[in-house]
Structure 1
Amino acid sequence: MPRRIPSYRPPWSPAPRKPHERPIERTEDRKADRRWYMAKPWRSLRALVLAEEPLCRLCREHGRLTVASHVDHIRPRKERPDLALDRSNLRPLCRSCHNRVRAAEDGRGGGPPPGPVSP
């Protein structure tokens, strides 16, 4: 059962933002990021990193074995563009560790990965 009566909003008007949501990123920045991550050099290097290290590096440091699905820049790409395609600046991470690292970089919290699993 709805909490309030829905109001009419024309399809061309923007959806109202909730106060707890992050501000909307500039569209040009998102498009530029998408183009960069879809480029052949990045996709090839990402595949190489995941083939060399198939497990999440942060989880391994904490005694967990998790398959890596993301490749993360240790020094952020926007901070150091010269290291964007440098193998020594890349590390494989699982989804939860990648989200945690990105949240900490963006100032949204984040923290250390969970401890080792007890048998």
Structure 2
Amino acid sequence: MNHESKYLAKRKKWSEKHTQNYYHNYNKTQRVRNETKLEQDKFYRNKQWKKGLRPAVLERDNYLCQYCMSHGRMTSGKIVDHIIPYEFDSSKRDDVNNLATICARCHTAKTLWEQEYYGTGSGNELKEVAAVPDIKYLPDFMDSAKTQ
């Protein structure tokens, strides 16, 4: 039994070290790959976002995905999304009217659509397009992006 506890302790230590390395490398290559992303990362780590905006939006939306609700579905969500992406218009980063609760499934679909429409994301260039601020239109756009 003593050997097993030593083994588990050693394995836990190894796992923690390698998890930290993974996130360190991820943060350097993906999350903070340029000045815009560095600024964005700092915003999501600050007190205003963690203790103020994010919890306020989740409470306001009753932890329900607003994208699903615009199509008559009730789905729980715990992600707070910028309707107009932070990367596209950083001036709306702390505007509660530009924030909505979203489920993981919708968040994935919306991210793919944003990359195509706005040009956000790794390796893309931002496009000069009109912002889509009304949440009721976004699920249709997200669905069309999935089928292309």
TM-score (norm: length of structure 1): 0.64
- d(CA) in 1 for partners of 2:43 and 2:107? 18
Following superposition, the deviation at residue 102 of structure 1 comes to 0.7
2:67 counterpart of 1:71: no
Name the counterpart of 1:45.
53
Following superposition, the deviation at residue 52 of structure 1 comes to 1.0
**Number of aligned residue pairs:** 89
**Deviation digits for residues 75-110 of structure 1, max 9, x if unmatched?**
1112211111001111111111011101111129x8
Superposed CA RMSD: 2.5
Following superposition, the deviation at residue 31 of structure 1 comes to 4.5
TM-score (norm: length of structure 2): 0.52
2:104 counterpart of 1:83: no
- d(CA) in 1 for partners of 2:59 and 2:111? 23
**How many percent of aligned residue pairs carry the same amino acid?**
30
Tell me, which stretches of 5 or more residues in structure 2 are unaligned?
A: 1-28, 118-140
2:111 counterpart of 1:102: yes
- d(CA) in 2 for partners of 1:64 and 1:91? 15
More helix by share: 2
Q: Which runs of 4+ in 1 moved over 3 A?
A: 24-33
Partner SS for 2:143: coil
